[in-house]
Chain A
Amino acid sequence: MKYLVTDDSKMARRMVIKLLKELIKDGDEILEASNGQEAIDIYKTDKPDLCFMDLTMPIIDGFEATKQIVQFDKDAKIVVITADIQEGAKDRALKNGARAFVKKPINETKMKQMIRSAGW
């Protein structure tokens, strides 16, 4: 499995990666992007199996990156992990094709629940 973790904060990426490392198998790969444009580019090249996407980012935000990735691959699995906890943000992210919406800060319980509920 390939995972893509997108966040403009290195600390936020590290938090997700730390949790992921406890759940993934040997040989799985974790890729990183620091903005929406990088996420789109990496997705098109590496086609990760699961993407974690922040919303508030420079260059291209997570709403637009999600939309463009899903336009490129309608089966893309994108989980939004964000500090923007407004209902409007959730609606917009899901409308753009995100499969799940998780509030920051992410923790082990949220990560496991999200992966389990999505059947991944």
Chain B
Amino acid sequence: MSNPIIFNEDQLDCLGELMNISYGSATAAISEILNSFATLNIPSIKIFEASKIKEYLNDNSIQNQEQYIASQILNGGISGENIFLIDIISAKNLALEFGLEENEINNNELSDIVLEITNILSSATIGRLASDLETTVSFEPPTIQKIDSFDKLDDKYMKDYEQVIVISTILEFEDQKIKAQLILLTIDSSILWLRDSIDKILEDL
């Protein structure tokens, strides 16, 4: 295990503000599609060993029921994964907002909608962050799993990373009863790159 990567208070504050702007773009993109207003929450930022991801998700996830977990690999200046978590009821409400009838809603349709939303959120969130940090990021097609416990989460999340920076926010459309969570995981080299980029921003202030 390499030495833990540490961000000081100013670096964390700066990253939080950048993510706030990125999540603002993502929320606006979805609220435009749903023609609705979402509550924007303050992002939470944590850096820890990748082996603790399941523990983190169990302790911090807003979901406690069957849910979809869609993830999209990111390559470039910001490398890692963008994860979108949504419970089944919220996913069904999302499907209804997209114009599906109750009798049309099935696992395939829900997966399709969640994947589409993941695409939109990833490009809005990471696209904005990459632009603010003057880098480029490419996206692989998102994949999806339906799970009823984080203990059943694919172990790739622990195998592929040593440390992770987890940036999480809750997306909430109260009128439509839709609540979801966005989590960004980045690999060690990207964490260091992010920290250097943030230092450059801070130097200019």
| Chain A interface residues (CB < 8 Å from chain B) | 8-12, 14-15, 18, 55-58, 82-89, 92, 104-105
Contacts and interface: CB of A to CB of B under 8 A. Distances in A.
A58 B132 contact: no
A14, A15, A85, A86, most chain B CB atoms within 10 A: A86
Contact of B23 (A10, A83, A87): A83
Contacts of B13: 9-11
Contact of B28 (A18, A57, A58, A85): A85
20 contacts: A9-B17, A9-B20, A10-B13, A11-B10, A11-B13, A11-B14, A11-B17, A56-B20, A57-B42, A82-B24, A83-B25, A84-B24, A84-B27, A86-B27, A86-B28, A86-B37, A86-B38, A86-B40, A87-B31, A105-B132
Given A9-B13, A11-B13, A89 B37 contact: yes
A15 B202 CA distance: 10
Chain B interface mostly: helix
B42 A56 contact: yes
B42 A8 contact: yes
Chain B contact-residue range equals 20 to 34
Interface of B: 10, 13-14, 16-17, 20-25, 27-28, 31-32, 36-38, 40-42, 132, 201-202, 205
